[in-house]
Amino acid sequence: MKRSSKENEESAGLVTRRGLVLAGLQLGFMSILGLRMRQMQVEEADNYRLLAEENRVNMRLIPPSRGIIYDRNGVSIATNTQNYRIVIVREDVPDVDETIAKLRQLVLLDEDELEKSLREMYRRSPFVPVTLADRLTWEDVAEVAVNAPALPGVTPDVGLSREYPLGADFAHIVGYVGPVSDYDLSKLTDPDPLLQIPKFQIGKIGVETKLETQLRGQAGTKRIEVNAAGRVMRELGREEYTPGTDLQLTIDHGLQNFAQARLANESAGAVVIDIETGDLVAMASSPSFDPELFVRGISTTNYRSLTENKYRPLFNKAVQGLYPPGSTFKMMTGLAALRHNVIGPKETVWCPGHMAFGGRRFHCWKRGGHGWVDLDTAITQSCDVYFYEAAQRTGIDNLAALCHEFGLGERFDLPVSAVREGIVPSTKWKAQVRGEQWFPGETLNTAIGQGDVLTSPLQLAVMTARIASGKAVVPRLVKSINGVEQSLEQADPMQINSSHLRMIQQAMYNVSNGRRGTARRSRIVAEGMEMAGKTGTSQVRNITAAERARGVVRNDQLPWERRDHGLFVGYAPFDKPKYAISLIVEHGGGGSSAAAPPARDILLYALYGDVPPIEAYPSDQRERIKTMLAELPVRPRQQPAKTPSRA
Amino acid sequence: MSYLEYKVQTIPTGARKILHANWAVALLLTAVACVGFLMLTSVAGGDASRWAEPQMKRFALGLVVMMAVGMVPIWFWRNMAGIAYLGAFGLLLLVEFFGTVGMGAQRWIDLGFMRLQPSEVMKIALVMILAAYYDWLPMAKVSRPFWVLMPVGLILLPTALVLKQPDLGTAILLVAGGGIVMFCAGVSWWYFIAVVAAGVGLVAAIFSSRGTDWQLLKDYQFRRIDTFLDPSTDPLGAGYHITQSKIALGSGGWTGKGFMQGTQSRLNFLPEKHTDFIFTTLAEEFGFIGGFSLLILYGLIILFCVASAVQNSDRFGALLTLGVAATLFLFFAVNMSMVMGLAPVVGVPLPLVSFGGSAMLVLMGAFGLVQSAHIHRSRSR
């Protein structure tokens, strides 16, 4: 096509003009781009830099190692052990089914656990390590390590987990740890981010939970670089954790073990207290349970067998169990009467086997009666009528006040679960709790440790220690924290006439050493080790008039639940009191037969610091005792793991 | 007057053509491509063999294609314009029926050795046919309605097919590229004002169509617009790309974090970092200085093309040169606007830098046309 050169020139001029306009517009837009770039990269750069850092840097918590719990000698009760496990990373596994099949041939895998782990693995990102099997033996892990080339993506790993080397002995005192649950989180106001770590272990009961804050320690942190998918690329820096505080308890592991073993076949509780320091050297509760069952996550079958056991293994009888103290309460009644001068030290009361009061008959345990009894005889032979009379003269409120001074009805602040206060009845108590008036007849029931009065073995042990020393001994369970010895406060002297106290002590001596003492069979014959004590038998049923007429049924003919509780409180050596004990055998029958013998054995262990020598026992019992002691499943005393005190 | 030109008033022939090629443009294209190689190496974590090396080979092929196209006289290409347009249109129809589905849209034909995106070819073919059309059309008729409707039809036919794929980014580029050629050809301003007004009306219509039976855009396209307007509404979902891209760009600062030190790209916070979002990595690792330098390189290419066009009294050659330059401009302007959060994410690569086969080859072919127009320009003024 031919065009005139004029048109051609005109068109070229137009194209040039338009082309330049276009170039201008384009440059204009490019300036906008440049300015935008400048705005973002120069003016707002710091802002974006911060966002980029937030993107890339994550903080991860490093869980601290939990504080170790030692006994008074430095023997480990709760430790952290290396926990060997097998970890799988999905993205590194070419064929999951095949790898699991191979793994099954090497290691015994728990099918339920495995299924749970595999589900978790598929839920999470493919690079997240998931634990396949936990708490493996070193041999299992070694097996996996050796076969590593055949098991891509499967690696052995090691972590820390809680272990209780002394097992059931300390289950009630130390308790156990377990993974933090939603329930725990809802209950705790603790903002510690550690609790957000899945399966982080915290104390569930006992010392583990009561001293959780000390034991837990402080989390460390590491700053890691992550990519967009959350995969960890590298560690940028870390701050180490502060390990939890180590604790030393006042308990002696050997004595605790002996006490548990001695009470093994009974439903029983016992507390041994150091009279000079208030140190609780043993707090036994039988039967016990294996705390590691809970650490691993207890199965429903196991849990049910624990809860349905009528001996109540999960129940800490030493502090949580409340029982009518029975005759072990009579020292209180006697002391109150002496203090208020309503009965003379040598004054006698006629016991015909019962006492008529308020139109009712209050029986003495001895149906024929004791005849004329003074305080010493009343305690030694446990005459009920004497104490009916004494309490009636003293008045319930005076008696209750004395009980509180001796620790009954008081809640001791110990770092174990479910420490209970018990009941010391008084007019005020009855008005407050029951909204009723006090009946004088109830004073008589209280006088012999029946009726409403309820005490725990811990309280009875404290009472006994206070009687033995005349000082307001305060029990304690923690000996040192992080190697720092807890200060020992000198116990205050009791506001009690020492001659009255001596009378009671002498009577208690006679209980286990006197010719007619109820615990004479359980005396200690070793020189300078003599034991003073008091037996108690507390009824858990009312003996009806009809039963009484028929003749009271013997305990061993009753069903277990209806038999009497057997109690014993005592201390030794009589001359220089060192340890006090209280012991209860639930539904064990009479205190002299059920409770006094094991109490003597345990007290002797405390005094000798090991299984007692046969010479401490009366010669006619030695053969039997020797066999009994030999058959006890007692663990040899452990050597201290290390000196727990750190300078 | 070109600096290489030494008193040659006639069109060079034979090997001398090489001396008269637009070497500035060739050099600038190579510089931009080198930026691409560097960034492709960086996003591959220093592994040049992954993306940079194939890209180098393709660029070398592209240079050969460009020079080969440039050696052919411009009137041959003018005569080819109709065939090119029809061919590209045919290919577009073909992908409608046989195209491979990728990224949620039917876009390419697998040729075995490379994937051909017919829409890429169409961008250039459209510029060619429009330039040829206005070369043929007498000046007096340029702004007459009938003669305006003709090129509008030429633009809208392929645009409709591309929209159907659906590829909003390319459709916009086609309309804008065609419009620019029409603008340069001298179509009256009023038409453009009318089109802008109509465009505003269309946008309003699109938004009001949302959720109705005659919805004009796909849901994902609406979502992209939503997140463009306010990325923070969905920072981990659809807005993620824009948000992360802006963080990467902004955190680069003046001088950047250094080669292969960009945390956003290295840690995969950036999406499609070797293709559409490669500019973000450049801006993150080399900062404002790096990003702005690339912008200047592009700007220089535009300027040299415009300079070549205004020297060229051949209407086809001048319009073609301006059209190709505008296509390049639209590519990088839309891409950069997108990664800076000025435009929605529409899937337009950064020309010569993003990893991609057919786009680069087609673009180099288009610059071959620019070379041809330059070498064979009409010097009679």
Written in H, E and C, the secondary structure of A64-104 is CCCCCEECCCCCEEEEEEEEEEEEECHHHCCCHHHHHHHHH
What residues does each domain of chain B span?
A: 16-375
Which residues, in sequence order, are CB contacts of B189 under 8 Å at separation 6+?
A: none
The whole-number pLDDT of residue B236 equals: 56
- Average pLDDT for chain B: 84
Report the gap between the CA of B46 and the closest CA in chain A (Å).
17
Note whether A400 and A429 are within 8 A (CB): yes
The whole-number pLDDT of residue A332 equals: 95
Percent of chain A exceeding pLDDT 70 equals 95
Give the pair of three-digit tokens for residue B331: 């590519």
Q: Is A228 on the interface with B (CB under 8 A)?
A: yes
Is B264 close to A55, i.e. CB distance below 8 A? Answer: yes
- How many whole angstroms separate alpha carbon A579 and alpha carbon A275? 5
**A-proximal residues of B, 238-267, CB under 8 Å:** 244, 246-254, 263-264, 266-267
Strand residue runs (E) in A198-311? 201-205, 220-226, 232-239, 247-249, 268-274, 280-286
Is B184 close to A226, i.e. CB distance below 8 A? Answer: no
Note whether A502 and A582 are within 8 A (CB): no
Q: Pick the residue with more confidence: B120 or A185?
A: B120
Is B288 close to A12, i.e. CB distance below 8 A? Answer: no
Number of Cβ pairs < 8 A linking chain A and chain B:
148
Question: Given pLDDT bands bounded at 50, 70 and 90, which one contains residue A226?
Answer: confident
Report the gap between the CA of A116 and the closest CA in chain B (Å).
29
Question: Given pLDDT bands bounded at 50, 70 and 90, which one contains residue A541?
Answer: low
Is B309 close to A15, i.e. CB distance below 8 A? Answer: yes
Please report residues of A whose CB lies closer than 8 A to that of B377. Answer: none
Mean pLDDT of A395-411: 94
Q: Is B295 on the interface with A (CB under 8 A)?
A: yes
Q: Is A12 on the interface with B (CB under 8 A)?
A: yes
Mean pLDDT of A347-363: 90
Of B87, B171, B189, B179, nearest in space to B134 by CA: B179
The whole-number pLDDT of residue B5 equals: 46
Note whether A220 and A238 are within 8 A (CB): yes
Report the gap between the CA of B285 and the closest CA in chain A (Å).
11
For strand A247-249 and strand A69-70, is the pairing parallel, antiparallel, or unpaired?
Answer: parallel
Nearest residue, CB atoms, B139 vs list A11, A30, A33: A11
The whole-number pLDDT of residue A200 equals: 81
The whole-number pLDDT of residue B130 equals: 94
Give the pair of three-digit tokens for residue B103: 């990224």
- Average pLDDT for chain A: 87
- How many whole angstroms separate alpha carbon A584 and alpha carbon A572? 18
Query: Is residue A476 helix, strand or coil?
Result: strand
**A-proximal residues of B, 19-38, CB under 8 Å:** none
The whole-number pLDDT of residue A336 equals: 95
Please report residues of B whose CB lies closer than 8 A to that of A6. Answer: none
Q: Is A125 on the interface with B (CB under 8 A)?
A: no
The whole-number pLDDT of residue B3 equals: 43
* Terminal CA-CA length for chain A: 107
Q: Is A38 on the interface with B (CB under 8 A)?
A: yes
B268 φ, ψ to 5°? 65, 25
- How many whole angstroms separate alpha carbon B320 and alpha carbon B326? 10
Please report residues of B whose CB lies closer than 8 A to that of A12. Answer: 312-313, 315, 318, 381
Is A228 close to B267, i.e. CB distance below 8 A? Answer: yes
ipTM of predicted complex: 0.89
Question: Given pLDDT bands bounded at 50, 70 and 90, which one contains residue A6?
Answer: low
CA contacts within 13 A on the Cβ side of A346: 0
- How many whole angstroms separate alpha carbon B101 and alpha carbon B110? 10
Give the pair of three-digit tokens for residue B297: 């390189």
- How many whole angstroms separate alpha carbon A347 and alpha carbon A372? 10
Tens digits of residue pLDDT in A107-153: 877 787 788 888 878 877 777 777 888 778 888 888 888 887 888 88
Q: Is B333 on the interface with A (CB under 8 A)?
A: yes
Tens digits of residue pLDDT in B264-298: 877 777 777 888 889 999 999 999 999 999 999 99
Q: Pick the residue with more confidence: A461 or B10?
A: A461
Give yes or no for residue A542 having a pLDDT over 60: yes
Give the pair of three-digit tokens for residue B151: 């090129």
Mean pLDDT of B178-183: 92
Q: Is A1 on the interface with B (CB under 8 A)?
A: yes
Nearest residue, CB atoms, B250 vs list A16, A40, A233: A40
Note whether A405 and A471 are within 8 A (CB): no
The whole-number pLDDT of residue A595 equals: 94
Q: Is B282 on the interface with A (CB under 8 A)?
A: no
Burial status of residue A173 (CB atoms within 10 A of its CB: 0-12, 13-18, 19 or more):
buried
Angle of helix B145-164 relative to helix B168-185, nearest 10 degrees, comes to 160
Supply the residues of A annotated as catalytic. 327
Tens digits of residue pLDDT in A15-39: 888 999 999 999 999 999 999 999 9
Which residues are bridge partners to A84 per DSSP? A136, A158
Note whether A294 and A614 are within 8 A (CB): no
- How many whole angstroms separate alpha carbon A641 and alpha carbon A639? 6
The whole-number pLDDT of residue B112 equals: 62
Please report residues of A whose CB lies closer than 8 A to that of B251. Answer: 45, 48-49, 51-52
- How many whole angstroms separate alpha carbon A233 and alpha carbon B267? 8
Question: Given pLDDT bands bounded at 50, 70 and 90, which one contains residue B1?
Answer: very low
Distances (CA, A) of A160 to A70, A184, A212, A238, A333: 18, 21, 17, 19, 54
Note whether A247 and A255 are within 8 A (CB): no
The whole-number pLDDT of residue A2 equals: 47
Give yes or no for residue A183 having a pLDDT over 50: yes
Report the gap between the CA of B93 and the closest CA in chain A (Å).
32
Tens digits of residue pLDDT in A575-589: 999 999 999 999 988
Q: Is A225 on the interface with B (CB under 8 A)?
A: yes
The whole-number pLDDT of residue A56 equals: 81
- How many whole angstroms separate alpha carbon A628 and alpha carbon A621? 11
Give yes or no for residue B89 having a pLDDT over 60: yes
Is B268 close to A227, i.e. CB distance below 8 A? Answer: yes
Nearest chain B alpha carbon to A10? B139
Rounded to the nearest angstrom, the gap between the alpha carbon of residue A580 and the centroid of all alpha carbons in its chain is: 21
> Which DSSP state fits A323?
B
- How many whole angstroms separate alpha carbon A443 and alpha carbon A448? 9
Give yes or no for residue A87 having a pLDDT over 60: yes
Question: Given pLDDT bands bounded at 50, 70 and 90, which one contains residue A3?
Answer: low
Give yes or no for residue A293 having a pLDDT over 90: no
The whole-number pLDDT of residue A326 equals: 92
Average the pLDDT over each of A44-53, A506-515, B54-63, B66-75 and give the range with the smallest value: A44-53
Which residues, in sequence order, are CB contacts of A540 under 8 Å at separation 6+?
A: A324, A561, A562, A563, A564, A565, A587
Nearest residue, CB atoms, A37 vs list B185, B291, B303: B291
Give yes or no for residue A7 having a pLDDT over 90: no
Nearest residue, CB atoms, A23 vs list B246, B303, B315: B303
Give the pair of three-digit tokens for residue B124: 């250039």
Question: Given pLDDT bands bounded at 50, 70 and 90, which one contains residue A536?
Answer: very high
Which residues, in sequence order, are CB contacts of A62 under 8 Å at separation 6+?
A: A219, A220, A221, A222, A238, A240, A241
